[in-house]
Structure 1
Amino acid sequence: MKKVIIYIIFLAVTACSGQSSPTVKTGTYRAVLKTRGGELPFGLDIQSAPTDAKTYTVFALNGKERLPMDPAIVQGDSLRIPMALFDSELMAKIDGNMLRGVWRRRRAAQQYQTLPFEAQYGVNYRFVPDEKTGSTTTNLTGSWATNFGSKTGKVDTVNAVGVFDQKGSHLTGTFLTPTGDYRYLDGNVVGDSLFLSCFDGSHVYLFKAKHDPATKTLTGGQWAGVSGYDSWVAKLDPNAKLPDAATLTYLKPGAKTLNASFPEPTGKMVSLTDPRFKNKVTIVQILGSWCPNCMDETNFLSPWYKRNKQRGVEILGLAFERSAEMTESGPKIERMKQRFNIDYPVVLAGTNDKAQASKALPDLNAVVAFPTTIVLDKKGQVRHIHTGFSGPGTGKFYDQYVDEFNRLMDKLISEL
């Protein structure tokens, strides 16, 4: 921690020294965070902004995803890449082909979590260069019944489903869980071992495992964030599945509708009883600006709403943020609305503590996941509740969700 503090002070002093700013090489970088589990690699694509020599457009690269970061700026001899939605940033000294510094994420007030960070220009392999992966007969493509936190070393319960696609030594995929997915994982198969990682400014995941071809089992560990760790075991199973996402959150006995009335960042109160929602199919999106899975759902719902709002549908976003104070969380909600071009109202409903979120919505048995999606018919009665979200990183599972969602909405919209 002392080294990180000294480094940040050094950056601030250098920024004020009046020295000419170094040039950031534009193109792709192999970036790594140095975690307890070893190097966590991801890709960065850095491009010059067209109007400002000290500003850069940056994308995090994981599998098929090119995730835009906020505009990066040169400060003294360093490059700062902010990710404001997730209260995190990369800050690194520019040194020729290298960027060296830290990733840090704010947790509360002025408390930060940090990890060492570096990136090398012009290098695009993930874990191991192609020439060093060697030949392998291991192929991990398929669905895997997975148990995180297994105490027996066996898949005695299924609390996740791994879905992998391997081409040569290159491996992509994700894990589906009852509360959402692990988004885009990217990595390699080396010999009998799996290596996968993801960094998107919020998710910081590193997976390693050994494959036993005799039992078709993967056994390994997962490192998350700065200090998280869990063991995991997975068994190849084309029929692996999770509990029904429509059964985890439900209305309490006797309840038929959802009562919700909360303020927008402007201070205006929005209620499901407002004329805006009367006689319309209404989607209530329980989300948070800090939540990458909510980001994936919003990327789907925002354009969907623009295409379909004239059919008699509305959406209300209930944001549960790290702070219940509007002065802190209101700007984050507005920033999220701007980033995803959201046309529907998003209100501050409370904090992202699940127990507190459950108290804010007493008609529900519990809020067990962000996001959770609640669909009300034209009469205001709850017809469907979906816990979690299978994002585009899940491939066919995302496609299946979109098809089921559209069928449900077509049915409810057609009702008198």
Structure 2
Amino acid sequence: MKHIHVNTGVRAFLFLSFAIVLLISACTSTTSSENAIKHGSWRVVLHAQGQEIPFILEAADSAGKQVLYLLNAEERILLNDVTQQNDSVKIGLHIFDADLIAKADGDKMAGRFVKNDTPEPYSIPFTAEHGKKMRFSESPAAASYDYSGKWEVMFTDAEGATTEAVGIFEQKKNYVTGTFLTTTGDYRYLEGEVSGNNLKVSTFDGNHAWLFTASAVSADSIQGEFISGLTGHETWKARRNEDAALANADSLTFLKEGYESLTFSFPDLEGKQVSLQDPKYKGKVVLVQLLGSWCPNCMDETAFLAPYYKQNHNKGLEIIGLGFERSPEFEKAAARLQKMKSRFDIQYDLLVAGIADKEAASQALPALNRVMSFPTTIFIDRQGKVRKIHTGFSGPGTGKYYEEWVADFNATMQQLLAES
């Protein structure tokens, strides 16, 4: 996925005061027997760049403990790390090193979305209202334009750099869902509305806050803006094209001339050095997954690979996750990967391979022409030869594209596992 760096522009005094609140909370917070947040649906609005980036939270109880669910279209992300101190509440955001911290007051909340893994202060204010289920308007104007279908898209950033994408949308009256696919991943579950001929869709996965707006230019063309977090801003244009397609994801990353296999050695989460040449992997089909705990597309791929490994490990399958994390410090990087391991019950090996940088990943695996995406998945046969490299990931938010990926993955693995 294309990631926009948006960790500048927060006023120092705001961050300093908020850091003090965090420190006090860390020292004194408790989990109350009373609910920190009123049960039911909450419409949450992040206030960034003069825009509203809305999403929905649902508060409930699970086994006597308050939990929340982050809702994006069909997606429900469980948030079960909720602590409170008096009228303040801290919500840990899934596997990400980020929190929602707020003051709850009956049917209202106000606070900030804070990312803890950025080198510079990052926080966005938010407000929330209980009992609201609509992402945008309660009563939008009747839709006069149908965004359903496939679109050939071009994003343009502030420097004029462009990114090709394929947009897919499904619209029922005012309600619309969809996503954008790129060569490095998808923009996951987008949800929103069409009011008149104007489109608004948003998503918040716990790490990224995105808002896409557009209006119709003609029967088959649209144009709009893309707002990402604190400062990310791009424009985009699209034309309807049911044949729109991206480059083959199996052709973008490949072995350099003269290479047939990979070699690497990185520490696991306990610090023990692990090599692809270890006896454990000899004669096995091995998947090497380049990932980061900060990466939502990696989260989606891991949600598939973790149970797949458990079901197929006894057939001669091993998976090695190479974690490229925000922090260069081993202890911090290992802790983030451990949280991911626990959340998804990952039973395959996770190694700390370096920092979250494509160039660093390319240097760590010099047999590859380049690493252009997290995740990247490398298929290795029982003889230790690389058979396929898949760049990016089309997750469940892409519908049939995810189903096609699953079918292709299963076919590839069936072939590799059947070989002697």
Please give the TM-score of this superposition, normalised by the length of structure 1.
0.92
Q: Is residue 29 of structure 1 aligned with residue 58 of structure 2? A: no
- Distance (Å, rounded) in 2 between the aligned partners of 1:58 and 1:112: 26
For the pair 1:341 / 2:340, whether they are aligned, the reply is no
Q: Conserved in 2, the CA contact under 8 Å of 1:318 and 1:348?
A: yes
Asked whether 1:114 is paired with 2:90, we answer no
C-alpha distance in structure 2 between counterparts of 1:24 and 1:31, whole Å: 13
* Contact map agreement 1:88 1:105 (CA 8 A) in 2: yes
1:230-280 Cα offsets, whole Å, 9 max, x none, are: 111111110100111111111000000011211101111111111221111
**1:106 Cα offset (Å):** 2.1
* 1:16/1:76 contact within 8 Å kept: no
Give the conservation status (yes or no) of the 8 Å contact 2:326–2:355. Answer: yes
Normalised TM-score (structure 2)? 0.91
1:59-98 matches, cutoff 5 A: 59-83=69-93, 85-98=95-108
Distance in 2 between residues matched to 1:242 and 1:67, nearest whole Å: 29
The change in CA–CA distance for 1:227 and 1:286 in structure 2 (over 3 A counts) is same
Instruction: Please tell me whether residue 189 in structure 1 is matched to residue 199 in structure 2.
Output: no
Distance 1:11 1:315 in 2: 37
Query: Hey, what's the Cα distance between the residues in 1 that align with 2:365 and 2:294?
Result: 20
2:300 counterpart residue number: 296
Q: 2:133 maps to what in 1?
A: 124
Match of 1:358 among 353, 362, 387: 362
Would the alpha carbon gap of residues 269 and 414 (structure 1) be closer, same or farther in structure 2, given more than 3 Å must change? same
Q: CA deviation at 1:134?
A: 2.1
**Contact between 1:150 and 1:233, CA under 8 Å: does it hold in 2?**
no
| Counterpart-to-counterpart distance in 1, 2:271 and 2:125 | 40
**1:136 to 1:337, Cα distance in 2 relative to 1, 3 A:** same
Structure 2 contact 98–117 (Cα < 8 Å) conserved: no
In structure 1, what is the equivalent of residue 373 of structure 2? 369
Judging changes above 3 Å, is the alpha-carbon distance between structure 1 residues 226 and 415 closer, same or farther for their aligned structure 2 residues?
same
Tell me which amino acid in the other structure corresponds to 1:46: A
RMSD: 2.3
**Residue 173 (structure 1) aligned with residue 168 (structure 2):** no
How far off its partner does 1:9 sit?
4.5
Seen in structure 2, the aligned counterparts of structure 1 residues 17 and 69 have a Cα distance that, compared at 3 Å, is closer
| Pairing partner for 1:40 from 41, 47, 53 | 53
Cα deviation for residue 138 of structure 1 reads 1.0
Letter aligned with residue 87 of structure 1: D
Q: Deviations over 1:331-355 (max 9, x none)?
A: 1111110001001000001111111
What is the CA-CA distance between 1:11 and the residue it aligns to? 7.7
Unaligned runs of 5+ in 1: none
Q: Does the aligned pair in 1 maintain the 2:117–2:327 contact within 8 Å?
A: no
Identity across aligned pairs (percent)? Answer: 43
Q: How many residues align?
A: 405
Aligned mates of 1:186, 1:177 — CA distance in 2: 18
Distance 1:340 1:39 in 2: 32
Are the equivalent residues in 2 in contact too, given 1:22–1:77 (CA < 8 A)? no
Secondary structure of 2:122 counterpart: strand
1:145 paired with 2:137, answer no
Partner of 1:365: helix, strand, or coil?
coil
2:395–2:402: 8 Å Cα contact kept in structure 1?
Answer: yes
Name the residue aligned to 2:268: 264
Counterparts of 1:4 and 1:323, CA distance in 2:
20
Mark the CA change 1:221 to 1:267 in structure 2 (over 3 Å): closer, same or farther: same
For structure 2, the 5+ residue unaligned runs are 1-10
CA distance in 2, matches of 1:170, 1:4: 37
Query: Residues of 2 paired with 1:26 and 1:73: CA distance?
Result: 15
Which letter does structure 1 place at the counterpart of 2:183?
A: P
